[in-house]
Structure 1
């Protein structure tokens, strides 16, 4: 198969990729984002993301191995070492950088095949590492959806994709503002369990076998008062040390796996 080749870091496509990596505004304007790594690319393809181009460094991945990962109609571009090192965030990228089209992540597009879905809601998470960890936790528990309320940035920040190890692509994800998410959950008769200290009971005292949304906020700010008012029950994790809070992804993991335990991991 014939491959296009790019050897100059001044190439216009290379410049565009660098802007897409660094600028949320450019990603939103073009509807494009960058995927780095073989595993991440495979997960994106499996999730039906449209891949427009794949750049590969042949010293790290051969054209033959690339054929196994992507379909024949996707454009393949062979790049030089200089370009690869300029584009790659990490040395373990395995020689692949892809351009893909974003999805919309609308609340109304969420689908719940089960009668008692489990949803994780995270309000205003800001740090890409925390968002990535939340997505990994959600994937591990195989939740039915992750909803980001009042997002501080865009989901396609390369740091989120990297820290989620591609779990942005394995979860059903939606975004919206807090008020519309609360309406959505209530319209779908999904009980809301908000991780808030006020008027809260210990998390393990509740029955989560019916349709459930676990709602977590940031360690610094917690959840907005709207969640306290809308909550079926506020819940807390008993703290036995000197501090009174923990990382949001850790808290989410504890709460979600209690739900899964009660459901016998179904």
Structure 2
């Protein structure tokens, strides 16, 4: 029998509101919310374990629910006010999922090729930038995205939204800058740091070998540890009056140059 919850005062719903709003609750429970058909489908494709589907039937039909449910899942019908309380987008698809978080420790990252192309971002803070970086990484089919010294948890609703679900399609690892540098060096991966100091134009470098492209924040750039460990610092030549660009845009330029050199294979 289909379970139904129609009260905002229901303890389970109150817990889900906390899950949406609080990083602390996501870490404590090891779960998070996903909104939208595409995002849920990508999470399933990415081997995330879905615990529960919640849907509002006037926005999301029983037929759509049946199409989404490739496996037997706990399903709850909710009211419009509950859906609007839990949703974080302006669009109204009418379906959410509760999923289990994955482990993203750098020491557990498995590379499937001897010649990886990796994108590293140090201390990105804005969820929109992180989401855009993940979207770019998916488009370029990089081997992995590594986030050094993360400031925001990966399952922040705005990261899921801005990445259009690519948080689930990329292999992602996190760790300290020192641990990530040690990991890259242990795999003999060349480190190319986007930096102003001692840099050369990015398109002059050979990215066909094992490569990690490393970007920092617009405000502070990369830490000294990265600059000391760099195979070569690289720069995108600016043609206007400013000397930097948005980190997600810069990531796209650099990673697609590497992909171009590899003949987009």
TM-score class normalised by the smaller sequence:
over 0.9
Partner of 1:16: 15
In 2, are the aligned partners of 1:45 and 1:70 still within 8 Å (CA)? no
| Partner deviation per Cα, 1:129-163 (whole Å, 9 max, x = no partner) | 00000000000100000000000121111111111
- Return 86-95 or 145-154, whichever deviates more: 86-95
Tell whether 2:177 aligns with 1:178: yes
Matches within 5 A, 1:252-263: 252-263=251-262
Partner of 1:236: 235
CA deviation after TM superposition for structure 1 residue 93, in Å: 4.1
Distance 1:93 1:103, change over 3 A: farther
Tell whether 2:120 aligns with 1:121: yes
Partner of 1:67: 66
Partner of 2:51: 52
| Length-normalised TM-score, structure 1 | 0.98
- Return 83-92 or 161-170, whichever deviates more: 83-92
In 2, are the aligned partners of 1:125 and 1:151 still within 8 Å (CA)? yes
Partner of 1:38: 37
What is the rounded CA distance, in whole Å, between the counterparts of 2:263 and 2:51 in structure 1?
Answer: 41
Partner of 1:200: 199
Matches within 5 A, 1:120-139: 120-139=119-138
CA deviation after TM superposition for structure 1 residue 13, in Å: 1.3
In 2, are the aligned partners of 1:9 and 1:82 still within 8 Å (CA)? yes
What is the rounded CA distance, in whole Å, between the counterparts of 2:251 and 2:199 in structure 1?
Answer: 16
What is the rounded CA distance, in whole Å, between the counterparts of 2:110 and 2:30 in structure 1?
Answer: 23
> What are the ranges of 5 or more consecutive residues in structure 1 without an aligned counterpart?
none
User: Secondary structure at the residue paired with 2:168?
Assistant: helix
User: Secondary structure at the residue paired with 1:261?
Assistant: helix
CA deviation after TM superposition for structure 1 residue 121, in Å: 0.1
Matches within 5 A, 1:162-177: 162-177=161-176
| Partner deviation per Cα, 1:159-178 (whole Å, 9 max, x = no partner) | 11111000000000000000
Cα RMSD (Å): 0.9
